[in-house]
């Protein structure tokens, strides 16, 4: 009886304490809500009296306001700046009004889950506005065209629950930050109708984005670079990239098995439409018009709605295979990443028409002059299929990889200039009738008597390692071969010094010490200048009796025998 009384009083005290706290929180919220009601014009319908928790569109928990919904009421006014004092807020719906002025900071509203602000005329967004939104699932601000130019807020990476981000038509500038590995829940990203630039971020590859809208950036600006990363975004279902500055080929999207809507028109995409796209069974809608696509006109299945009109560089008007010379030239362009200047000029089905960089004689391709075209990528083995080729200029580009060995089979070839690139690997042996220039490729293997310039101006002389590196050069980089060589020579010399010193120690102190001093001096020389190796080896042969087995460390009665 007595104990029950105590329990009763304790619980009464606890209850009143909780109520007090609640009242304080509610009182704080009351101050803000009354400011908000005054700031809006007209006053939202159903917002009268002091018990704001009963106002239309407002919901409270025992701790304060949890939800405000005053969408589509043609409200004007500027929101009070201390909106984030509503610490219990989980949902904010202000869309479809004409609210203006600065958006109040939402920072630290850690319970906030959904924010709808689209279709207003806010003028600015404060720095750090979206910090600490740990519960945020959906942020939609589209069509706030009056905003001062702003950038995609990097602090959104704290919102790891974010599923939908819609910042379309909000005057965004700058690039897409490479943070999509943090936004693990993101499914919809809409950034259309802005002034965004730069490439697609690498971390798109690990995101689970399903709907991607990046279309219609400002005329003459927009996203650029390749769309290669799409191939790794296997959850994609809808992709709108039209009206941007994307370049390069359409990647193989065969792992995007849910993709049904792919809109790529009005870019600068080049290359052959991959056959895998035409056989992607999920696909329902494709737009490819106004690009610089090449090769055969793609033919999609009956159920697929396709637009292909506008500028493209397909080889024929109807569907059907290209001329074999066109196919070969497109193979060549592919290994350069289908550069735009080739795609623009190489259209139609006759390379001997008026294609740039191609010179023909009686319908045969005899010269290709691709010098100084800023080309990247590699030299395609498909050049070997141009059997009439006499002159091939690829000099002064940024080409990597190796020179395809098949080029030696070009019977008519007279001039091959690959100078001033970044080629590596072995140099094929061309017949002497070929004037071959490979100068200015620092990583290219040595071509003995190959006619090319054999001078490598690096600090180590190129003649020093007379045998080993060339024979062991399968995929072995020059620098590591050098290091290995120097280490081997170094270890060898140190052991030989020990051998010589110890051996001579027992025979002839004075004579040997003199020689060893010389030897040590030479060793230093050797490490700096490769050419001294040969001299030293000759010298060593003298003092070690031609490397007699007897003198090898760990064998025989070392140290007890003299020179044989």
Sole window of 92-100, 277-285, 378-386, 530-538 interacting with ligand NAG (rule: CB under 6 A): 378-386
Q: Is 385 in the site for ligand NAG (CB under 6 A)?
A: yes
Sole window of 26-34, 247-255, 304-312, 541-549 interacting with ligand NAG (rule: CB under 6 A): 247-255
Among 137, 157, 195, 456, binds ligand NAG (CB under 6 A): 195
Sheet containing 268-272: which strands, arranged edge to edge?
Answer: 224-225, 245-248, 268-272, 292-295, 313-314
Beta carbon nearer to ligand NAG, 104 or 450: 104
Sole window of 249-257, 289-297, 455-463, 512-520 interacting with ligand NAG (rule: CB under 6 A): 249-257
Q: Is 221 in the site for ligand NAG (CB under 6 A)?
A: yes
Q: Is 440 in the site for ligand NAG (CB under 6 A)?
A: no
Minimum separation from the CB atom of position 84 to ligand NAG (A): 6
Minimum separation from the CB atom of position 427 to ligand NAG (A): 15
Characterize 94-109 residue by residue with b for buried, 16 or more Cβ atoms within 10 angstroms of its Cβ, and e for exposed: bbbbebbebbbbbbeb
- Give start and end residues of each alpha helix (H) in 508-554: 509-528, 532-544
Q: Is 550 in the site for ligand NAG (CB under 6 A)?
A: no
Among 424, 456, 473, 545, binds ligand NAG (CB under 6 A): 424
Q: Is 173 in the site for ligand NAG (CB under 6 A)?
A: yes
Per-residue binder mask for ligand NAG (CB under 6 A), 255-274, x = binder: x-------------------
Beta carbon nearer to ligand NAG, 141 or 382: 382
Q: Is 419 in the site for ligand NAG (CB under 6 A)?
A: no
Characterize 444-468 residue by residue with b for buried, 16 or more Cβ atoms within 10 angstroms of its Cβ, and e for exposed: bbbbeebebeeeeeeebeeebbeee
Q: Is 400 in the site for ligand NAG (CB under 6 A)?
A: yes
Nearest CA among 498, 503, 506, 497 for reference residue 550: 503
Q: Is 218 in the site for ligand NAG (CB under 6 A)?
A: yes
Check: CB of residue 234 under 8 Å from CB of residue 257.
yes
Minimum separation from the CB atom of position 46 to ligand NAG (A): 31
Minimum separation from the CB atom of position 232 to ligand NAG (A): 7
Minimum separation from the CB atom of position 443 to ligand NAG (A): 5
Beta carbon nearer to ligand NAG, 69 or 171: 171
Residue 22, C-beta contacts closer than 8 angstroms, at least 6 positions apart: 62, 63, 64
Beta carbon nearer to ligand NAG, 376 or 545: 376
Minimum separation from the CB atom of position 483 to ligand NAG (A): 17
- In the window 103-132, what residues touch ligand NAG (CB under 6 A)? 105, 107-108, 131-132
Among 125, 382, 499, 543, binds ligand NAG (CB under 6 A): 382
Minimum separation from the CB atom of position 269 to ligand NAG (A): 17
Q: Is 231 in the site for ligand NAG (CB under 6 A)?
A: yes
Beta carbon nearer to ligand NAG, 264 or 277: 277
Q: Is 150 in the site for ligand NAG (CB under 6 A)?
A: no
Q: Distance between alpha carbon 448 and the CA centroid of its chain, in Å?
A: 39
Q: Which two tokens stand for residue 142?
A: 């589209």
Minimum separation from the CB atom of position 219 to ligand NAG (A): 8
Q: Which two tokens stand for residue 28?
A: 């704080």
Cα separation, 489 vs 486, whole angstroms: 5
Element (H, E) at 480: helix 478-507
Minimum separation from the CB atom of position 429 to ligand NAG (A): 20
Query: How many residues of this chain bind ligand NAG (CB under 6 A)?
Result: 25
Check: CB of residue 189 under 8 Å from CB of residue 156.
no
Sole window of 100-108, 203-211, 467-475, 545-553 interacting with ligand NAG (rule: CB under 6 A): 100-108
Cα separation, 304 vs 287, whole angstroms: 10
Q: Which two tokens stand for residue 384?
A: 């070997």
Among 102, 134, 245, 443, binds ligand NAG (CB under 6 A): 443
Check: CB of residue 95 under 8 Å from CB of residue 74.
no
Check: CB of residue 379 under 8 Å from CB of residue 404.
yes
User: What pairs with residue 225 in β-bridges?
Assistant: 246
Q: Is 331 in the site for ligand NAG (CB under 6 A)?
A: yes
C-alpha R_g of the chain: 37
Q: Is 432 in the site for ligand NAG (CB under 6 A)?
A: no
Beta carbon nearer to ligand NAG, 218 or 429: 218
Sole window of 182-190, 251-259, 387-395, 521-529 interacting with ligand NAG (rule: CB under 6 A): 251-259
Cα separation, 258 vs 234, whole angstroms: 8
Q: Is 135 in the site for ligand NAG (CB under 6 A)?
A: no
Residue whose token pair is 């035409």: 278
Element (H, E) at 415: strand 415-417
> Which own/partner contact pairs does 183-189 have at CB distance under 8 Å and 24+ positions apart?
183/156, 183/157, 183/159, 183/207, 184/160, 184/208, 185/137, 185/160, 185/161, 186/162, 187/163, 187/211, 187/235, 188/163, 188/164, 189/165, 189/213, 189/214
Beta carbon nearer to ligand NAG, 197 or 508: 197
Q: E strands within 145-297? A: 164-166, 173-174, 188-190, 195-196, 211-213, 224-225, 238-240, 245-248, 261-263, 268-272, 285-287, 292-295
Cα separation, 380 vs 403, whole angstroms: 9
Sole window of 37-45, 207-215, 374-382, 430-438 interacting with ligand NAG (rule: CB under 6 A): 374-382
Beta carbon nearer to ligand NAG, 117 or 133: 133
Beta carbon nearer to ligand NAG, 408 or 537: 408
Nearest CA among 247, 252, 244 for reference residue 222: 244
Characterize 316-342 residue by residue with b for buried, 16 or more Cβ atoms within 10 angstroms of its Cβ, and e for exposed: eeeeeebeebbbbbbebbbbbbbbeeb
* Positions that interact with ligand NAG (CB under 6 A): 105, 107-108, 131-132, 173, 195, 197, 218, 221, 231, 252, 254-255, 324, 331, 374, 381-382, 385, 398, 400, 422, 424, 443
């Amino acid at each position: 009886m007595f104990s029950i009384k105590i329990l009763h009083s304790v619980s009464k005290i606890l209850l009143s304490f909780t109520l007090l706290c609640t009242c304080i929180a509610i009182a704080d919220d009351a101050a803000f809500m009354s400011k908000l009601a005054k700031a809006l014009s007209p006053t939202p319908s159903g917002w009268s009296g002091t018990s704001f928790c009963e106002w239309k569109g407002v919901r409270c928990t025992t701790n304060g306001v949890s939800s405000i919904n005053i969408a589509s009421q043609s409200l004007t006014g500027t929101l009070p700046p201390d909106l984030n004092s509503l610490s219990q807020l989980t949902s904010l719906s202000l869309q479809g009004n004409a609210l203006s002025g600065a958006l109040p900071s939402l920072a630290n509203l850690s319970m906030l889950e959904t924010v709808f602000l689209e279709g207003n005329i806010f003028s600015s967004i404060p720095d750090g506005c979206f910090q600490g939104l740990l519960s945020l699932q959906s942020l939609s601000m589209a069509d706030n065209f009056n905003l001062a130019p702003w950038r995609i807020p990097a602090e959104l990476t704290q919102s790891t629950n974010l599923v939908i981000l819609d910042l379309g038509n909000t005057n965004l500038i700058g690039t897409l930050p490479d943070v999509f590995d943090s936004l693990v829940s993101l499914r919809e990203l809409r950034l259309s109708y802005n002034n965004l630039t730069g490439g697609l971020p690498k971390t798109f590859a690990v995101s689970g984005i399903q709907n991607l809208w990046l279309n219609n950036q400002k005329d003459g600006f927009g996203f650029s670079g390749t769309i290669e990363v799409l191939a790794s975004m296997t959850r994609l279902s809808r992709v709108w990239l039209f009206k941007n500055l994307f370049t390069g080929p359409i990647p193989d999207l065969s792992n995007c098995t849910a993709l049904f809507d792919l809109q790529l028109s009005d870019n600068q995409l080049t290359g052959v439409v991959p056959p895998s796209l035409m056989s992607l069974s999920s696909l329902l809608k494709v737009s490819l018009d106004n690009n610089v696509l090449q090769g055969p006109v793609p033919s999609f299945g009956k159920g697929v709605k396709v637009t292909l009109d506008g500028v493209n560089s397909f080889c024929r008007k109807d569907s059907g295979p290209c001329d074999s010379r066109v196919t070969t030239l497109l193979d060549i362009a592919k290994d350069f990443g289908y550069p735009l200047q080739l795609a623009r000029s190489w259209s139609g089905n006759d390379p001997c028409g008026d294609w740039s960089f191609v010179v023909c004689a009686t319908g045969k391709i005899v010269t290709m002059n691709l010098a100084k075209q800023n080309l990247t990528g590699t030299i395609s083995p498909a050049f070997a299929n141009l059997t009439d080729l006499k002159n091939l200029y690829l000099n002064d580009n940024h080409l990597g990889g190796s020179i395809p060995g098949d080029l030696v089979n070009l019977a008519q070839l007279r001039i091959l200039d690959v100078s001033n690139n970044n080629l590596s690997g072995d140099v094929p042996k061309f017949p002497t009738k070929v004037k071959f220039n490979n100068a200015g490729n620092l990583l290219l293997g040595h071509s003995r008597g190959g006619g090319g310039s054999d001078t490598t101006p690096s600090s180590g002389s190129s003649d020093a390692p007379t045998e080993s590196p060339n024979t062991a050069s399968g995929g072995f980089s020059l620098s590591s071969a050098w290091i290995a060589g120097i280490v081997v020579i170094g270890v060898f010399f140190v052991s030989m010094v020990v051998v010589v010193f110890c051996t001579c120690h027992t025979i002839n102190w004075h004579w040997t010490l003199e020689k060893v001093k010389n030897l040590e001096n030479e060793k230093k020389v050797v490490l700096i200048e490769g050419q001294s190796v040969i001299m030293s080896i000759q010298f060593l042969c003298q003092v070690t009796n031609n490397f007699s087995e007897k003198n090898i460390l760990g064998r025989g009665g070392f140290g007890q025998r003299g020179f044989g």
